[in-house]
Structure 1
Amino acid sequence: MGLLDELESEAQRRKSNDEDASVLKAARETAYRTVLEPAMADLLAYLKELAAKLTELQPKIAIRHSLAGYGDVVAYVEHEFDVREVRQPSSKEITVAFHAAVSSSECPSVQIEGGARVRAVSASFQRHRLGAPLAASKDASGEVVAATFKAKGRIPLTAVFSADAASGQLRLSFSNFDDFATAVKTVAPDQVNEELYDKIGRYLMREPTDLMREVLPENYRSQLRARVHHEEVKRRWESQIVSRQQEDIALLKREYGIGARFNRIGDAMGKLRGLVSRK
Protein backbone atom coordinates (compact mmCIF):
# COMPACT_ATOMS: atom_id res chain seq x y z
CA MET A 1 0.00 0.00 0.00
CA GLY A 2 1.39 3.38 -1.01
CA LEU A 3 1.67 6.47 1.19
CA LEU A 4 -1.42 8.14 -0.26
CA ASP A 5 -3.44 4.97 0.20
CA GLU A 6 -2.29 4.74 3.84
CA LEU A 7 -3.30 8.35 4.50
CA GLU A 8 -6.68 7.82 2.84
CA SER A 9 -7.26 4.70 4.95
CA GLU A 10 -6.46 6.61 8.14
CA ALA A 11 -8.79 9.44 7.09
CA GLN A 12 -11.64 6.97 6.49
CA ARG A 13 -11.02 5.30 9.85
CA ARG A 14 -11.18 8.61 11.69
CA LYS A 15 -14.32 9.61 9.81
CA SER A 16 -15.94 6.31 10.76
CA ASN A 17 -14.97 6.79 14.41
CA ASP A 18 -16.39 10.33 14.38
CA GLU A 19 -19.64 9.07 12.87
CA ASP A 20 -19.88 6.31 15.49
CA ALA A 21 -19.27 8.84 18.27
CA SER A 22 -21.95 11.13 16.81
CA VAL A 23 -24.45 8.27 16.65
CA LEU A 24 -23.66 7.25 20.24
CA LYS A 25 -23.99 10.85 21.46
CA ALA A 26 -27.34 11.24 19.71
CA ALA A 27 -28.59 7.96 21.20
CA ARG A 28 -27.63 9.05 24.71
CA GLU A 29 -29.29 12.44 24.29
CA THR A 30 -32.44 10.76 23.00
CA ALA A 31 -32.48 8.34 25.95
CA TYR A 32 -32.14 11.25 28.36
CA ARG A 33 -34.88 13.35 26.79
CA THR A 34 -37.39 10.57 26.19
CA VAL A 35 -36.76 8.26 29.17
CA LEU A 36 -34.55 9.64 31.91
CA GLU A 37 -35.85 13.19 32.12
CA PRO A 38 -39.49 12.17 32.71
CA ALA A 39 -38.32 9.26 34.91
CA MET A 40 -36.44 11.69 37.16
CA ALA A 41 -39.67 13.63 37.67
CA ASP A 42 -41.40 10.39 38.70
CA LEU A 43 -38.51 9.49 41.02
CA LEU A 44 -38.65 12.92 42.66
CA ALA A 45 -42.37 12.54 43.31
CA TYR A 46 -41.80 9.05 44.73
CA LEU A 47 -39.02 10.20 47.07
CA LYS A 48 -41.05 13.16 48.35
CA GLU A 49 -44.01 10.89 49.08
CA LEU A 50 -41.72 8.36 50.76
CA ALA A 51 -40.19 11.06 52.97
CA ALA A 52 -43.66 12.29 53.95
CA LYS A 53 -44.82 8.78 54.87
CA LEU A 54 -41.71 8.07 56.93
CA THR A 55 -42.05 11.39 58.74
CA GLU A 56 -45.65 10.54 59.55
CA LEU A 57 -45.10 6.92 60.63
CA GLN A 58 -41.69 7.33 62.32
CA PRO A 59 -40.56 3.69 61.83
CA LYS A 60 -37.54 2.54 63.82
CA ILE A 61 -34.75 2.15 61.25
CA ALA A 62 -31.42 0.93 62.59
CA ILE A 63 -28.01 1.66 61.11
CA ARG A 64 -25.11 -0.58 62.16
CA HIS A 65 -21.62 0.13 60.82
CA SER A 66 -18.35 -1.54 61.80
CA LEU A 67 -15.44 0.78 62.55
CA ALA A 68 -11.93 -0.70 62.37
CA GLY A 69 -10.21 -0.86 65.75
CA TYR A 70 -13.42 -0.01 67.62
CA GLY A 71 -16.40 -2.21 66.77
CA ASP A 72 -20.03 -1.65 65.75
CA VAL A 73 -21.56 1.82 65.76
CA VAL A 74 -25.34 1.61 66.22
CA ALA A 75 -27.58 4.50 65.16
CA TYR A 76 -31.25 5.15 64.41
CA VAL A 77 -32.66 7.24 61.57
CA GLU A 78 -34.02 10.66 62.43
CA HIS A 79 -37.09 11.27 60.28
CA GLU A 80 -36.17 14.71 59.02
CA PHE A 81 -35.59 14.40 55.28
CA ASP A 82 -34.28 17.03 52.91
CA VAL A 83 -35.31 16.19 49.33
CA ARG A 84 -33.93 18.56 46.71
CA GLU A 85 -33.69 18.75 42.94
CA VAL A 86 -31.15 20.63 40.82
CA ARG A 87 -32.06 21.17 37.18
CA GLN A 88 -29.73 22.03 34.33
CA PRO A 89 -30.53 22.22 30.60
CA SER A 90 -29.10 18.74 30.00
CA SER A 91 -29.08 17.17 33.45
CA LYS A 92 -31.05 16.59 36.63
CA GLU A 93 -29.92 15.70 40.13
CA ILE A 94 -31.99 14.69 43.15
CA THR A 95 -30.52 14.60 46.65
CA VAL A 96 -32.03 13.00 49.73
CA ALA A 97 -30.23 13.89 52.97
CA PHE A 98 -30.97 12.90 56.56
CA HIS A 99 -29.18 11.77 59.74
CA ALA A 100 -29.03 8.79 62.06
CA ALA A 101 -28.49 9.49 65.77
CA VAL A 102 -25.84 7.29 67.37
CA SER A 103 -27.21 5.20 70.24
CA SER A 104 -24.28 5.47 72.66
CA SER A 105 -25.91 3.04 75.09
CA GLU A 106 -25.75 0.33 72.40
CA CYS A 107 -22.18 1.12 71.35
CA PRO A 108 -19.19 -0.50 73.08
CA SER A 109 -16.81 1.30 75.39
CA VAL A 110 -13.38 0.24 74.13
CA GLN A 111 -10.02 0.76 75.82
CA ILE A 112 -7.31 1.22 73.16
CA GLU A 113 -3.65 0.68 74.11
CA GLY A 114 -0.66 1.98 72.16
CA GLY A 115 -0.05 5.43 70.70
CA ALA A 116 -0.37 4.35 67.05
CA ARG A 117 -3.67 2.51 67.62
CA VAL A 118 -5.08 5.40 69.64
CA ARG A 119 -4.21 7.85 66.85
CA ALA A 120 -5.75 5.59 64.19
CA VAL A 121 -9.06 5.13 66.02
CA SER A 122 -9.13 8.80 67.00
CA ALA A 123 -8.69 9.79 63.34
CA SER A 124 -11.61 7.53 62.37
CA PHE A 125 -13.80 9.06 65.09
CA GLN A 126 -12.96 12.57 63.91
CA ARG A 127 -13.49 11.70 60.23
CA HIS A 128 -16.97 10.35 60.95
CA ARG A 129 -17.78 12.88 63.69
CA LEU A 130 -18.26 10.26 66.38
CA GLY A 131 -16.81 12.25 69.27
CA ALA A 132 -13.42 12.40 70.95
CA PRO A 133 -11.56 9.78 73.04
CA LEU A 134 -12.28 9.66 76.76
CA ALA A 135 -9.93 9.24 79.73
CA ALA A 136 -6.72 9.57 77.70
CA SER A 137 -3.50 8.38 79.34
CA LYS A 138 -0.17 10.02 78.52
CA ASP A 139 3.43 8.97 78.99
CA ALA A 140 6.23 11.10 80.48
CA SER A 141 6.69 12.97 77.19
CA GLY A 142 3.02 13.91 77.04
CA GLU A 143 2.09 11.53 74.20
CA VAL A 144 -1.26 9.74 74.47
CA VAL A 145 -0.59 6.02 74.87
CA ALA A 146 -4.07 4.79 75.87
CA ALA A 147 -7.64 6.03 75.63
CA THR A 148 -11.24 4.92 75.99
CA PHE A 149 -13.58 5.32 73.01
CA LYS A 150 -17.38 5.39 73.00
CA ALA A 151 -19.25 6.52 69.89
CA LYS A 152 -21.72 9.41 69.98
CA GLY A 153 -23.11 12.03 67.61
CA ARG A 154 -24.97 11.76 64.30
CA ILE A 155 -24.20 9.95 61.05
CA PRO A 156 -25.07 11.88 57.86
CA LEU A 157 -26.71 9.77 55.14
CA THR A 158 -26.93 11.10 51.61
CA ALA A 159 -28.46 9.60 48.47
CA VAL A 160 -27.83 11.29 45.13
CA PHE A 161 -29.61 10.40 41.88
CA SER A 162 -28.28 12.06 38.73
CA ALA A 163 -28.94 11.76 35.01
CA ASP A 164 -27.54 13.70 32.07
CA ALA A 165 -27.55 13.71 28.29
CA ALA A 166 -23.81 13.08 28.08
CA SER A 167 -23.96 9.64 29.74
CA GLY A 168 -27.54 8.69 28.97
CA GLN A 169 -27.72 6.76 32.26
CA LEU A 170 -29.00 7.15 35.81
CA ARG A 171 -26.29 7.27 38.46
CA LEU A 172 -27.05 6.23 42.05
CA SER A 173 -24.76 7.26 44.91
CA PHE A 174 -25.30 6.32 48.57
CA SER A 175 -23.07 7.62 51.38
CA ASN A 176 -22.93 5.93 54.82
CA PHE A 177 -25.73 3.46 54.16
CA ASP A 178 -24.09 0.02 54.11
CA ASP A 179 -20.93 1.24 55.87
CA PHE A 180 -18.84 4.37 56.35
CA ALA A 181 -18.29 4.77 52.61
CA THR A 182 -19.95 5.76 49.34
CA ALA A 183 -21.47 3.13 47.04
CA VAL A 184 -22.15 3.97 43.39
CA LYS A 185 -24.16 2.24 40.69
CA THR A 186 -25.24 3.17 37.15
CA VAL A 187 -28.58 2.10 35.71
CA ALA A 188 -29.46 1.86 32.03
CA PRO A 189 -32.52 3.85 30.85
CA ASP A 190 -34.59 0.74 30.15
CA GLN A 191 -34.22 -0.33 33.80
CA VAL A 192 -35.52 2.93 35.28
CA ASN A 193 -39.07 2.12 36.29
CA GLU A 194 -41.40 1.72 39.28
CA GLU A 195 -39.64 -1.48 40.31
CA LEU A 196 -36.39 0.45 40.59
CA TYR A 197 -38.09 3.19 42.65
CA ASP A 198 -39.39 0.54 45.03
CA LYS A 199 -35.91 -0.95 45.43
CA ILE A 200 -34.51 2.52 46.12
CA GLY A 201 -37.17 3.14 48.75
CA ARG A 202 -36.46 -0.15 50.50
CA TYR A 203 -32.73 0.52 50.37
CA LEU A 204 -33.24 3.93 52.00
CA MET A 205 -35.30 2.22 54.72
CA ARG A 206 -32.55 -0.40 55.16
CA GLU A 207 -34.81 -3.24 54.10
CA PRO A 208 -33.42 -6.27 52.21
CA THR A 209 -33.03 -5.52 48.50
CA ASP A 210 -30.70 -6.41 45.65
CA LEU A 211 -30.45 -2.79 44.50
CA MET A 212 -26.67 -2.55 44.95
CA ARG A 213 -25.93 -6.14 44.01
CA GLU A 214 -24.19 -6.22 40.65
CA VAL A 215 -25.30 -8.79 38.07
CA LEU A 216 -22.16 -10.14 36.42
CA PRO A 217 -22.11 -10.87 32.68
CA GLU A 218 -22.35 -14.55 31.77
CA ASN A 219 -18.90 -14.66 30.16
CA TYR A 220 -17.35 -13.14 33.29
CA ARG A 221 -19.20 -15.65 35.51
CA SER A 222 -17.85 -18.44 33.28
CA GLN A 223 -14.32 -17.11 33.75
CA LEU A 224 -14.82 -17.02 37.52
CA ARG A 225 -16.16 -20.60 37.56
CA ALA A 226 -13.18 -21.78 35.47
CA ARG A 227 -10.79 -19.98 37.80
CA VAL A 228 -12.40 -21.52 40.88
CA HIS A 229 -12.24 -24.98 39.28
CA HIS A 230 -8.58 -24.46 38.41
CA GLU A 231 -7.76 -23.40 41.97
CA GLU A 232 -9.65 -26.40 43.36
CA VAL A 233 -7.73 -28.82 41.13
CA LYS A 234 -4.48 -27.10 42.10
CA ARG A 235 -5.31 -27.45 45.82
CA ARG A 236 -6.12 -31.16 45.38
CA TRP A 237 -2.79 -31.81 43.61
CA GLU A 238 -0.89 -29.87 46.25
CA SER A 239 -2.64 -31.85 48.98
CA GLN A 240 -1.78 -35.15 47.26
CA ILE A 241 1.85 -34.09 46.83
CA VAL A 242 2.15 -33.14 50.51
CA SER A 243 0.50 -36.40 51.56
CA ARG A 244 2.87 -38.43 49.36
CA GLN A 245 5.87 -36.56 50.72
CA GLN A 246 4.77 -37.31 54.27
CA GLU A 247 4.38 -41.02 53.42
CA ASP A 248 7.85 -41.12 51.82
CA ILE A 249 9.39 -39.42 54.84
CA ALA A 250 7.68 -41.86 57.21
CA LEU A 251 8.91 -44.81 55.09
CA LEU A 252 12.47 -43.48 55.10
CA LYS A 253 12.33 -43.06 58.85
CA ARG A 254 11.17 -46.63 59.30
CA GLU A 255 13.83 -48.00 56.95
CA TYR A 256 16.52 -45.89 58.53
CA GLY A 257 15.42 -47.01 61.99
CA ILE A 258 15.56 -50.72 61.05
CA GLY A 259 18.93 -50.34 59.36
CA ALA A 260 20.32 -48.47 62.32
CA ARG A 261 19.21 -51.23 64.69
CA PHE A 262 20.86 -53.90 62.50
CA ASN A 263 24.02 -51.84 62.36
CA ARG A 264 24.09 -51.54 66.15
CA ILE A 265 23.55 -55.32 66.50
CA GLY A 266 26.34 -56.00 63.97
CA ASP A 267 28.72 -53.71 65.87
CA ALA A 268 27.95 -55.48 69.15
CA MET A 269 28.52 -58.97 67.61
CA GLY A 270 31.80 -57.78 66.15
CA LYS A 271 32.99 -56.56 69.54
CA LEU A 272 31.93 -59.86 71.15
CA ARG A 273 33.85 -61.88 68.56
CA GLY A 274 36.88 -59.72 69.20
CA LEU A 275 36.76 -60.40 72.93
CA VAL A 276 36.38 -64.16 72.39
CA SER A 277 39.30 -64.35 69.99
CA ARG A 278 41.58 -62.42 72.37
CA LYS A 279 40.76 -64.85 75.16
Structure 2
Amino acid sequence: MGLLDELEQEAQRRKAGADDVERLKQEREASYRTQLEPGMAALYEYLLKLTQNLAFIKPRKTFTHAIAGYGNVVFAVEHEYDLKISSQPASKEIKLSFPCSVVTDECPSVEVLTSSRIKTVAGAFQRFHIGGITPTKKDASGDVIAATFRARGRAVLAAQFNADAETGLLRMTFANFDQLGGQLTKTATGEQFNEQMYDEIGRYVAREPNSLFREALPDDYRKQLRTKVQQEEMKRKWEAQMADRQRQELADLERQQGLAGKLTKAVEVSAGGLFGKLRGLVSKKDKDGDK
Protein backbone atom coordinates (compact mmCIF):
# COMPACT_ATOMS: atom_id res chain seq x y z
CA MET A 1 0.00 0.00 0.00
CA GLY A 2 1.39 3.37 -1.00
CA LEU A 3 1.70 6.45 1.15
CA LEU A 4 -1.22 8.13 -0.58
CA ASP A 5 -3.49 5.14 0.10
CA GLU A 6 -2.52 5.13 3.77
CA LEU A 7 -3.28 8.84 4.12
CA GLU A 8 -6.64 8.45 2.38
CA GLN A 9 -7.61 5.58 4.71
CA GLU A 10 -6.65 7.63 7.78
CA ALA A 11 -8.65 10.59 6.48
CA GLN A 12 -11.70 8.37 5.90
CA ARG A 13 -11.37 6.88 9.39
CA ARG A 14 -11.22 10.30 10.99
CA LYS A 15 -14.12 11.53 8.90
CA ALA A 16 -16.19 8.52 9.97
CA GLY A 17 -15.32 9.22 13.60
CA ALA A 18 -16.29 12.87 13.21
CA ASP A 19 -19.55 11.82 11.58
CA ASP A 20 -20.29 9.51 14.53
CA VAL A 21 -19.61 12.32 17.00
CA GLU A 22 -21.88 14.68 15.08
CA ARG A 23 -24.60 12.03 14.82
CA LEU A 24 -24.50 11.36 18.58
CA LYS A 25 -24.60 15.11 19.27
CA GLN A 26 -27.67 15.49 17.08
CA GLU A 27 -29.35 12.53 18.80
CA ARG A 28 -28.73 14.08 22.24
CA GLU A 29 -30.07 17.44 21.10
CA ALA A 30 -33.14 15.78 19.58
CA SER A 31 -33.75 13.85 22.80
CA TYR A 32 -33.57 17.08 24.78
CA ARG A 33 -35.92 18.99 22.49
CA THR A 34 -38.51 16.24 22.09
CA GLN A 35 -38.38 14.47 25.47
CA LEU A 36 -36.33 16.12 28.20
CA GLU A 37 -37.39 19.75 27.70
CA PRO A 38 -41.14 19.03 27.69
CA GLY A 39 -40.57 16.44 30.41
CA MET A 40 -39.00 19.05 32.70
CA ALA A 41 -41.99 21.34 32.20
CA ALA A 42 -44.33 18.44 33.00
CA LEU A 43 -42.29 17.46 36.08
CA TYR A 44 -42.42 21.04 37.35
CA GLU A 45 -46.21 21.10 37.01
CA TYR A 46 -46.43 17.73 38.75
CA LEU A 47 -44.24 18.86 41.66
CA LEU A 48 -46.15 22.15 41.91
CA LYS A 49 -49.48 20.34 42.33
CA LEU A 50 -47.91 17.77 44.66
CA THR A 51 -46.41 20.35 47.01
CA GLN A 52 -49.57 22.47 46.98
CA ASN A 53 -51.65 19.48 48.04
CA LEU A 54 -49.13 18.41 50.68
CA ALA A 55 -48.99 21.96 52.07
CA PHE A 56 -52.79 22.05 52.28
CA ILE A 57 -53.32 18.56 53.75
CA LYS A 58 -50.18 18.61 55.93
CA PRO A 59 -49.93 14.85 56.50
CA ARG A 60 -47.69 13.92 59.43
CA LYS A 61 -44.51 12.55 57.92
CA THR A 62 -41.65 11.57 60.19
CA PHE A 63 -38.36 9.84 59.50
CA THR A 64 -35.05 9.21 61.26
CA HIS A 65 -31.43 9.89 60.45
CA ALA A 66 -28.61 8.52 62.60
CA ILE A 67 -25.75 10.54 64.09
CA ALA A 68 -22.71 8.51 65.14
CA GLY A 69 -22.21 8.48 68.89
CA TYR A 70 -25.73 9.76 69.55
CA GLY A 71 -28.37 7.65 67.84
CA ASN A 72 -31.44 8.34 65.71
CA VAL A 73 -32.72 11.88 65.24
CA VAL A 74 -36.46 12.04 64.51
CA PHE A 75 -37.54 14.61 61.91
CA ALA A 76 -41.00 15.83 60.88
CA VAL A 77 -41.71 17.41 57.49
CA GLU A 78 -42.94 21.00 57.87
CA HIS A 79 -44.61 21.16 54.40
CA GLU A 80 -43.16 24.56 53.54
CA TYR A 81 -41.99 23.97 49.98
CA ASP A 82 -39.76 26.14 47.81
CA LEU A 83 -40.04 25.12 44.14
CA LYS A 84 -38.25 26.92 41.30
CA ILE A 85 -37.55 26.30 37.63
CA SER A 86 -34.97 28.06 35.48
CA SER A 87 -34.38 27.75 31.75
CA GLN A 88 -31.47 28.34 29.39
CA PRO A 89 -31.47 27.92 25.59
CA ALA A 90 -30.28 24.30 25.89
CA SER A 91 -30.94 23.34 29.51
CA LYS A 92 -33.50 23.41 32.31
CA GLU A 93 -33.13 23.17 36.07
CA ILE A 94 -35.70 22.49 38.81
CA LYS A 95 -34.93 23.02 42.50
CA LEU A 96 -37.13 21.87 45.36
CA SER A 97 -36.38 22.27 49.07
CA PHE A 98 -38.31 22.06 52.32
CA PRO A 99 -37.39 22.14 56.03
CA CYS A 100 -37.87 19.27 58.45
CA SER A 101 -37.88 20.02 62.17
CA VAL A 102 -36.35 17.79 64.82
CA VAL A 103 -38.99 16.16 67.04
CA THR A 104 -37.03 16.66 70.25
CA ASP A 105 -39.55 14.85 72.46
CA GLU A 106 -39.03 11.69 70.40
CA CYS A 107 -35.22 11.92 70.36
CA PRO A 108 -33.05 10.20 72.98
CA SER A 109 -31.31 12.08 75.77
CA VAL A 110 -27.74 10.76 75.74
CA GLU A 111 -25.01 11.47 78.29
CA VAL A 112 -21.56 11.49 76.73
CA LEU A 113 -18.42 11.24 78.87
CA THR A 114 -14.79 12.25 78.23
CA SER A 115 -13.69 15.34 76.38
CA SER A 116 -12.71 13.52 73.16
CA ARG A 117 -16.06 11.78 72.74
CA ILE A 118 -17.95 14.97 73.51
CA LYS A 119 -15.99 16.83 70.83
CA THR A 120 -16.70 14.07 68.31
CA VAL A 121 -20.46 14.07 68.88
CA ALA A 122 -20.63 17.86 69.17
CA GLY A 123 -18.74 18.14 65.87
CA ALA A 124 -21.34 15.94 64.17
CA PHE A 125 -24.17 18.03 65.63
CA GLN A 126 -22.55 21.25 64.40
CA ARG A 127 -21.78 19.80 60.97
CA PHE A 128 -25.45 18.95 60.47
CA HIS A 129 -26.65 22.20 62.11
CA ILE A 130 -28.28 20.30 64.97
CA GLY A 131 -28.44 21.83 68.46
CA GLY A 132 -29.16 20.38 71.87
CA ILE A 133 -25.82 20.15 73.71
CA THR A 134 -25.80 20.77 77.48
CA PRO A 135 -22.46 20.57 79.36
CA THR A 136 -22.97 18.96 82.78
CA LYS A 137 -19.45 18.64 84.18
CA LYS A 138 -16.05 20.26 83.71
CA ASP A 139 -12.60 19.32 84.95
CA ALA A 140 -10.18 21.58 86.84
CA SER A 141 -8.89 23.13 83.60
CA GLY A 142 -12.39 24.01 82.44
CA ASP A 143 -12.73 21.32 79.76
CA VAL A 144 -16.15 19.70 79.48
CA ILE A 145 -15.90 16.05 80.50
CA ALA A 146 -19.63 15.24 80.64
CA ALA A 147 -22.46 16.54 78.49
CA THR A 148 -26.05 15.69 77.70
CA PHE A 149 -27.12 15.58 74.05
CA ARG A 150 -30.76 15.84 72.98
CA ALA A 151 -31.25 16.86 69.37
CA ARG A 152 -33.19 19.95 68.36
CA GLY A 153 -33.30 22.22 65.34
CA ARG A 154 -34.07 21.44 61.71
CA ALA A 155 -32.60 20.13 58.48
CA VAL A 156 -33.37 21.10 54.90
CA LEU A 157 -34.09 18.42 52.32
CA ALA A 158 -33.28 19.47 48.76
CA ALA A 159 -33.85 17.97 45.33
CA GLN A 160 -32.37 19.23 42.08
CA PHE A 161 -33.18 18.15 38.52
CA ASN A 162 -31.00 19.10 35.53
CA ALA A 163 -31.55 18.32 31.87
CA ASP A 164 -29.46 19.59 28.96
CA ALA A 165 -28.87 19.06 25.27
CA GLU A 166 -25.14 18.49 25.73
CA THR A 167 -25.57 15.20 27.60
CA GLY A 168 -29.10 14.34 26.50
CA LEU A 169 -29.79 13.11 30.04
CA LEU A 170 -31.75 14.02 33.15
CA ARG A 171 -29.67 14.17 36.33
CA MET A 172 -31.41 14.04 39.72
CA THR A 173 -29.72 14.89 43.02
CA PHE A 174 -31.29 14.46 46.47
CA ALA A 175 -29.58 15.93 49.56
CA ASN A 176 -30.38 14.84 53.14
CA PHE A 177 -33.11 12.47 51.97
CA ASP A 178 -31.21 9.27 52.71
CA GLN A 179 -28.93 10.47 55.52
CA LEU A 180 -27.75 13.71 57.07
CA GLY A 181 -25.10 15.21 54.84
CA GLY A 182 -25.69 12.48 52.27
CA GLN A 183 -26.46 12.85 48.60
CA LEU A 184 -28.08 10.44 46.16
CA THR A 185 -27.91 10.87 42.40
CA LYS A 186 -29.67 9.20 39.51
CA THR A 187 -29.63 9.73 35.75
CA ALA A 188 -32.33 8.96 33.22
CA THR A 189 -32.64 9.08 29.46
CA GLY A 190 -35.35 10.96 27.64
CA GLU A 191 -37.18 7.69 27.00
CA GLN A 192 -37.24 6.88 30.72
CA PHE A 193 -38.43 10.37 31.66
CA ASN A 194 -42.18 9.81 31.64
CA GLU A 195 -45.27 10.00 33.87
CA GLN A 196 -44.25 6.85 35.74
CA MET A 197 -40.97 8.51 36.71
CA TYR A 198 -42.79 11.69 37.79
CA ASP A 199 -44.86 9.53 40.13
CA GLU A 200 -41.79 7.75 41.51
CA ILE A 201 -40.09 11.11 42.11
CA GLY A 202 -43.22 12.43 43.82
CA ARG A 203 -43.45 9.38 46.06
CA TYR A 204 -39.78 9.69 46.99
CA VAL A 205 -40.19 13.37 47.86
CA ALA A 206 -43.36 12.66 49.87
CA ARG A 207 -41.62 9.73 51.62
CA GLU A 208 -44.08 7.19 50.27
CA PRO A 209 -43.15 3.65 49.14
CA ASN A 210 -41.36 3.92 45.81
CA SER A 211 -38.82 2.27 43.54
CA LEU A 212 -36.96 5.35 42.31
CA PHE A 213 -33.55 4.01 43.30
CA ARG A 214 -34.26 0.38 42.54
CA GLU A 215 -32.71 -0.77 39.32
CA ALA A 216 -35.19 -2.00 36.74
CA LEU A 217 -34.31 -5.57 35.78
CA PRO A 218 -34.88 -7.03 32.31
CA ASP A 219 -37.77 -9.49 32.11
CA ASP A 220 -35.46 -12.39 31.17
CA TYR A 221 -33.18 -11.73 34.13
CA ARG A 222 -36.16 -11.26 36.44
CA LYS A 223 -37.50 -14.64 35.23
CA GLN A 224 -34.12 -16.26 35.89
CA LEU A 225 -34.07 -14.83 39.41
CA ARG A 226 -37.60 -16.05 40.04
CA THR A 227 -36.67 -19.53 38.77
CA LYS A 228 -33.54 -19.53 40.94
CA VAL A 229 -35.56 -18.52 44.00
CA GLN A 230 -38.05 -21.31 43.31
CA GLN A 231 -35.21 -23.81 42.91
CA GLU A 232 -33.64 -22.68 46.18
CA GLU A 233 -37.02 -23.01 47.90
CA MET A 234 -37.46 -26.55 46.55
CA LYS A 235 -33.92 -27.39 47.66
CA ARG A 236 -34.61 -26.10 51.18
CA LYS A 237 -37.86 -28.11 51.37
CA TRP A 238 -36.09 -31.27 50.15
CA GLU A 239 -33.26 -30.79 52.66
CA ALA A 240 -35.80 -30.24 55.45
CA GLN A 241 -37.67 -33.41 54.45
CA MET A 242 -34.43 -35.40 54.34
CA ALA A 243 -33.44 -34.06 57.76
CA ASP A 244 -36.85 -35.03 59.18
CA ARG A 245 -36.56 -38.48 57.62
CA GLN A 246 -33.06 -38.97 59.02
CA ARG A 247 -34.21 -37.93 62.48
CA GLN A 248 -37.14 -40.35 62.26
CA GLU A 249 -34.92 -43.18 61.04
CA LEU A 250 -32.44 -42.49 63.84
CA ALA A 251 -35.23 -42.50 66.42
CA ASP A 252 -36.58 -45.78 64.99
CA LEU A 253 -33.10 -47.30 65.06
CA GLU A 254 -32.56 -46.24 68.67
CA ARG A 255 -35.95 -47.65 69.62
CA GLN A 256 -35.18 -50.94 67.85
CA GLN A 257 -31.79 -51.14 69.52
CA GLY A 258 -33.46 -50.52 72.88
CA LEU A 259 -35.99 -53.30 72.26
CA ALA A 260 -33.25 -55.64 71.08
CA GLY A 261 -31.25 -54.94 74.22
CA LYS A 262 -34.23 -55.64 76.44
CA LEU A 263 -34.99 -58.85 74.53
CA THR A 264 -31.39 -60.04 74.82
CA LYS A 265 -31.41 -59.39 78.53
CA ALA A 266 -34.71 -61.21 78.92
CA VAL A 267 -33.37 -64.21 76.98
CA GLU A 268 -30.23 -64.24 79.10
CA VAL A 269 -32.29 -64.16 82.28
CA SER A 270 -34.60 -66.89 81.00
CA ALA A 271 -31.69 -69.01 79.83
CA GLY A 272 -29.95 -68.57 83.14
CA GLY A 273 -33.05 -69.74 85.00
CA LEU A 274 -33.51 -72.78 82.72
CA PHE A 275 -29.88 -73.82 83.02
CA GLY A 276 -30.11 -73.43 86.78
CA LYS A 277 -33.11 -75.74 86.87
CA LEU A 278 -31.31 -78.31 84.67
CA ARG A 279 -28.25 -78.19 86.89
CA GLY A 280 -30.51 -78.70 89.89
CA LEU A 281 -32.13 -81.77 88.30
CA VAL A 282 -28.78 -83.25 87.29
CA SER A 283 -27.40 -82.69 90.77
CA LYS A 284 -30.46 -84.37 92.31
CA LYS A 285 -30.12 -87.44 90.05
CA ASP A 286 -26.46 -87.80 90.96
CA LYS A 287 -27.32 -87.77 94.64
CA ASP A 288 -30.08 -90.37 94.15
CA GLY A 289 -27.67 -92.63 92.24
CA ASP A 290 -25.15 -92.47 95.05
CA LYS A 291 -27.74 -93.68 97.45
Task: State the TM-score, normalizing by the size of structure 1.
Answer: 0.73
Distance 1:61 1:104 in 2: 15
SS of structure 1 residue aligned to 2:60 = coil
Distance 1:213 1:73 in 2: 25
Q: Which residue of 1 aligns with 2:80?
A: 80
Using a 3 Å threshold, how does the CA distance of structure 1 residues 81 and 27 change in structure 2: closer, same or farther?
same
Contact 2:174 2:184 in 1 (8 A): yes
Q: Which residue of 2 aligns with 1:234?
A: none
SS of structure 2 residue aligned to 1:201 = helix
Distance 2:118 2:221 in 1: 43
Q: Which residue of 1 aligns with 2:254?
A: none
Aligned-residue CA RMSD in angstroms?
A: 2.6
Contact 2:135 2:144 in 1 (8 A): no
SS of structure 2 residue aligned to 1:198 = helix
Shift of 1:26: 1.0
Distance 1:206 1:135 in 2: 35
Distance 1:116 1:219 in 2: 54
Q: Which residue of 2 aligns with 1:200?
A: 201
Q: Which residue of 1 aligns with 2:239?
A: none
Distance 2:10 2:75 in 1: 61
| Uncovered stretches (5+) of structure 2, i.e. residues with no partner | 229-291
Shift of 1:174: 0.8
Q: Which residue of 2 aligns with 1:186?
A: 187
Using a 3 Å threshold, how does the CA distance of structure 1 residues 33 and 149 change in structure 2: closer, same or farther?
same
Contact 1:78 1:100 in 2 (8 A): yes
| Uncovered stretches (5+) of structure 1, i.e. residues with no partner | 226-279
| 1:213-241 per-position Cα deviation (integer Å, ceiling 9, x unaligned) | 2346899999xx9xxxxxxxxxxxxxxxx
Q: Which residue of 2 aligns with 1:30?
A: 30
Distance 1:6 1:141 in 2: 82
| 1:75-117 per-position Cα deviation (integer Å, ceiling 9, x unaligned) | 1101111110011111000111101110001111111223332
SS of structure 1 residue aligned to 2:129 = coil
Shift of 1:15: 3.2
Q: Which moved more, 1:17-26 or 1:151-160?
A: 17-26
| 1:50-73 per-position Cα deviation (integer Å, ceiling 9, x unaligned) | 111011111011121111111101
Distance 1:2 1:143 in 2: 84
Distance 1:214 1:140 in 2: 57
Using a 3 Å threshold, how does the CA distance of structure 1 residues 105 and 16 change in structure 2: closer, same or farther?
same
Q: Which residue of 1 aligns with 2:283?
A: none
- Which amino acid is 1:100 matched to? C
Shift of 1:208: 1.1
Q: Which residue of 1 aligns with 2:286?
A: none
Contact 1:63 1:100 in 2 (8 A): no
2:55 counterpart of 1:93: no
Identity %: 50
SS of structure 2 residue aligned to 1:76 = strand
Q: Which residue of 1 aligns with 2:15?
A: 15
- Which amino acid is 2:55 matched to? T
Instruction: Give 1:1-279 correspondences, 5 Å limit.
Output: 10-180=10-180, 181-215=182-216
Using a 3 Å threshold, how does the CA distance of structure 1 residues 122 and 7 change in structure 2: closer, same or farther?
farther
Using a 3 Å threshold, how does the CA distance of structure 1 residues 49 and 218 change in structure 2: closer, same or farther?
closer
SS of structure 1 residue aligned to 2:78 = strand
| 1:153-209 per-position Cα deviation (integer Å, ceiling 9, x unaligned) | 011010111100011111111111121111000011111111111111111111111
Task: State the TM-score, normalizing by the size of structure 2.
Answer: 0.70
- Which amino acid is 1:184 matched to? T
Shift of 1:132: 5.0
Distance 2:17 2:70 in 1: 54
Contact 2:75 2:103 in 1 (8 A): yes
Contact 1:85 1:93 in 2 (8 A): yes
SS of structure 2 residue aligned to 1:46 = helix
Distance 1:138 1:10 in 2: 78
- Which amino acid is 1:123 matched to? G
Shift of 1:120: 1.8
- Which amino acid is 2:135 matched to? A
